[in-house]
Structure 1
Amino acid sequence: MRRYRDELVLVAGLGSAFALTAAYSLLGKWSLWSSVMVLCLTTFYYSYTFFHSDNRGLKLLLFLIQAVVVIFYFALIYRVFGIIDSATGETIRPEWLDAMYFSVVTWTTLGYGDFRPVHDAKVWVMTEALLGYVFMGIFVAKILYMLRGDEQLSQSPGASSGDQGS
């Protein structure tokens, strides 16, 4: 069981988030916020355990999977609430490609300006942009940590010029 803990955390997190999202008709927006929290906590589990693990490659992969799931999740929210097409000023229910595009543009805080959120989705857009900052910062930190660790492993003890005897 311990061997598959990371995979179980992923499945449990995704399953819980899906169940909470499905409970939208009963719980309203609280179910959406709760599911976002579950996805974030699951992702941050991989961040915390990353630095205490020998299997950092798997932890990084699962972290990236969770990040993509969060982006898809926000795209689903934008499909439900709708977005405003800036060219026409009309509120549209975007197709999946447009919803994913808007979600990625929001996540990366790129903001081309061709779509903008409806009033009810503004808090979701702000949340996604902040999560994008945090996730990308954590991702860069993990990559640098892995590169630094590989560099330290490739250096043998006593390889510096001050440690070598004559």
Structure 2
Amino acid sequence: MRSAASAPPRRWPRWFPIALAALLIIADQALKAWAVNNLVYQAPPVPAIPLLLEWVLTFNTGAAWSMFSNSALPLAALRLLVGLGLLGYLWARPQVRWLTTVLGMIAAGAIGNAIDGLVRGQVTDMIDMPLLSLISNALHAGDFPIFNLADVYVVLGTLSLLLLSLREDRR
């Protein structure tokens, strides 16, 4: 009988990161399409959950916090390379489940924003969190940026990668 310590690491099937990324990209693109069709650019925020969530249609031709503005196409190409590179890596070298999941999330976020940059020449953002702006303003950092689901995937995936790698280092 094998002990838990000698058991091989559990891995998702090879197709899993591609399916995960596809589902996340579809959700991202669907929310962006909804925002473009139902929100008005430069209109006041539409409250959804008081202090937590408002809908505001904005566009970004750069990266986070509008860095590298007016660089939508080069950034889109870079994002696409990163996203496809991560998925290619996971296909060629299947990883443990947690790593596959977080790298799949990051790939989906990169590809989701790459699609916007390639198709529209700008990234569509619509999620505003007033509570985060209250915190960032209290820290004299200005309003928290308006973002989209692809951004959420990249940030949550990266934070998970960091936290889970710290946990793995302790073992």
Bucket of the pairwise TM-score, normalised by the shorter protein: 0.3 to 0.5
TM-score (norm 2): 0.33
Larger % of strand: which? 2
Larger % of helix: which? 1
TM-score (norm 1): 0.34
